[in-house]
């Protein structure tokens, strides 16, 4: 199957060689996507092959991305690929979260089980492979934390030099620590994500550095496999809804593309609807979906949220995401800081846990079921995008009643769990714990 880069704009659809180092259409400025002209492989044969590979000890078969390599065939050789065994993330039943969300049943697809703790690894193994294929030496990204952690790991593992740019003081220490440990050259810029993205794009062009933000179409290809793996794990029975948080909207674009392509390839018979959830203070996509005119996104100039992963006011992939949400018959919701914090604590009480941005999913589900948009009986998969340990500071503050929303308003620790300081005294501790097993 051949591969090419195609402009996403319906009025343009210009085609370019798959090895061109471009991030936007040189003709019209539109976003680019990988496309694969030619007949799709037979669906039954693919499903059998992918299932068989789960038994294999070959590194690429063990990867939850490259196991599905026929679905992301942008490379002409697999030689540039480095895998850290990304993907392979579980589907977890969460009855307590289901009840909180107003559902009979809820399943989490937990991307926090990835090697660097977020869904970015699915895309980064592909982005790094393309960088190696193109004989790039240096790779760069701007990030709210997870992209940079992932890029640092995959670049270092692939022999590339990672250079990352992060908004100073606005990413969690867990994520910053990962970038440092994985050996990235790290710049903390005194600006927000949207401003730094513009800066990095100029720098990348000037210095010939390969850009690995989600504007990079090969990252999107990798993130498609999150949906493929989910369908495989469900024996190809699509859920009614897939719920995910929205920031720069790369994941929404990837999920929608995967669903469309799985339908076209005959791997599934119908598409789930996408529900994207944003934080109230950083919700330009929500505003766009609820505007009379959806032809232009109005950026939020000063985005605010404690869910720093999705603190983005000018999401680059909005035209793709809009198309995917509309095509799937989906919706966009927004939730408050309090709603995110409480939903996150509930996910924790399921024994599962996530970082704040991921918990926007459950907060959004609760609103969407209350509004009658999602049915109580619906079959829902919510994608938890990042691991609980990404942001321990937030957790400690919530449980000890010290968490404050960006404007300074206190966040109630509705489901708080305060630690108790005690002397080294058996009787005193026994008295606190009381009788009874």
245 binds ligand F0G (CB under 6 A): yes
Tokens of 419: 């630690």
330 binds ligand F0G (CB under 6 A): no
391 binds ligand F0G (CB under 6 A): no
Tokens of 265: 């390839």
125 binds ligand F0G (CB under 6 A): no
Stretch that binds ligand F0G, among 10-18, 144-152, 401-409, 421-429 (CB under 6 A): 144-152
Q: Which residues contact 267 (CB under 8 A, 6 or more apart)?
A: 43, 46, 47, 228, 231, 236
Q: Distances in Å between the alpha carbon of 131 and those of 19, 29, 147, 158, 330?
A: 10, 22, 16, 9, 34
Q: Cα–Cα distance between 403 and 415 in angstroms, integer?
A: 13
The site string for ligand F0G over 282-321 (x = CB under 6 A, - otherwise) reads: ---------------------------xx-----------
For the chain, the first-to-last Cα distance in angstroms comes to: 64
Of residues 60 and 199, the one with the C-beta less far from ligand F0G: 199
Of residues 8 and 50, the one with the C-beta less far from ligand F0G: 8
325 binds ligand F0G (CB under 6 A): no
Q: Which of 63, 89, 130, 146 binds ligand F0G (CB under 6 A)?
A: 146
Strands 106-110 and 380-384, sheet pairing: parallel
φ, ψ at 178 (rounded to 5°) = -60, -45
Residue-wise over 361-372: b if at least 16 C-beta within 10 A, else e? bbbbbbbbbeee
357 binds ligand F0G (CB under 6 A): yes
- Residue 308: CB minimum distance to ligand F0G, A: 9
Q: Which of 30, 102, 238, 246 binds ligand F0G (CB under 6 A)?
A: 246
Of residues 46 and 279, the one with the C-beta less far from ligand F0G: 279
Tokens of 59: 């590194």
Q: Interface residues with ligand F0G (CB under 6 A)? A: 118, 120, 143-147, 214, 245-252, 309-310, 355, 357-358, 385-386
């Amino acid at each position: 199957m051949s591969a090419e880069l195609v402009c996403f704009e319906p009025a343009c659809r210009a085609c370019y060689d798959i090895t061109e180092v471009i991030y936007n259409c040189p003709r019209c400025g539109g976003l680019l996507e990988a496309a694969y002209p030619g007949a799709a492989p037979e669906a039954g044969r693919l499903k059998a092959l992918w299932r068989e590979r789960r038994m294999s000890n070959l590194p690429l078969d063990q990867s939850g991305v490259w196991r599905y390599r026929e679905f992301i065939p942008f490379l002409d050789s697999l030689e540039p690929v480095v895998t850290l065994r990304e993907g392979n993330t579980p589907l977890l039943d969460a009855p307590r979260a289901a009840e909180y969300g107003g559902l009979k049943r809820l399943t989490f697809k937990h991307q926090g089980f990835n090697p660097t703790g977020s869904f970015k690894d699915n895309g980064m193994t592909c982005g790094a492979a393309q960088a190696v294929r193109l004989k790039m030496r240096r790779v760069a990204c701007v990030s709210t934390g997870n992209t940079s952690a992932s890029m640092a790991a995959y670049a270092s593992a692939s022999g590339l030099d990672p250079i990352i740019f992060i908004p100073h003081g606005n990413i969690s220490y867990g994520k910053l620590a990962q970038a440092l440990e994985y050996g990235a050259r790290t710049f903390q810029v005194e600006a927000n994500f949207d401003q730094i993205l513009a800066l990095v794009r100029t720098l990348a062009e000037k210095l010939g550095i390969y850009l690995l933000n989600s504007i990079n179409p090969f990252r999107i290809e990798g993130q498609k496999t999150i949906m493929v793996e989910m369908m495989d794990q469900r024996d190809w029975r699509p859920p009614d809804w897939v719920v995910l948080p929205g920031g720069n909207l790369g994941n929404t674009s990837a999920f929608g593309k995967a669903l469309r392509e799985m339908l076209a390839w005959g791997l599934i018979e119908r598409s789930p609807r996408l529900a994207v959830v944003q934080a109230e203070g950083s919700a330009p996509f929500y505003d766009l979906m609820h505007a009379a005119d959806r032809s232009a996104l109005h950026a939020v100039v000063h985005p605010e949220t404690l869910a720093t992963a999705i603190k983005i006011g000018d999401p680059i992939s909005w035209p793709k995401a809009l198309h995917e949400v509309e095509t799937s018959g989906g919706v966009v919701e927004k939730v408050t800081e309090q709603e995110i914090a409480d939903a996150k604590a509930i996910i924790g009480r399921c024994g599962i846990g996530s970082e704040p941005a991921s918990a926007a999913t459950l907060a959004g589900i609760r609103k969407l079921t209350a509004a009658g948009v999602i049915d109580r009986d619906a079959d829902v998969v919510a994608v938890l995008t990042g691991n609980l340990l990404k942001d321990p500071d937030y957790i400690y503050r919530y449980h000890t009643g010290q968490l404050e929303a960006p404007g300074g308003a206190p966040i109630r620790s509705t489901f708080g769990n305060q630690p108790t300081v005690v002397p080294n005294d058996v009787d005193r501790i026994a008295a606190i714990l009381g009788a009874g097993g």
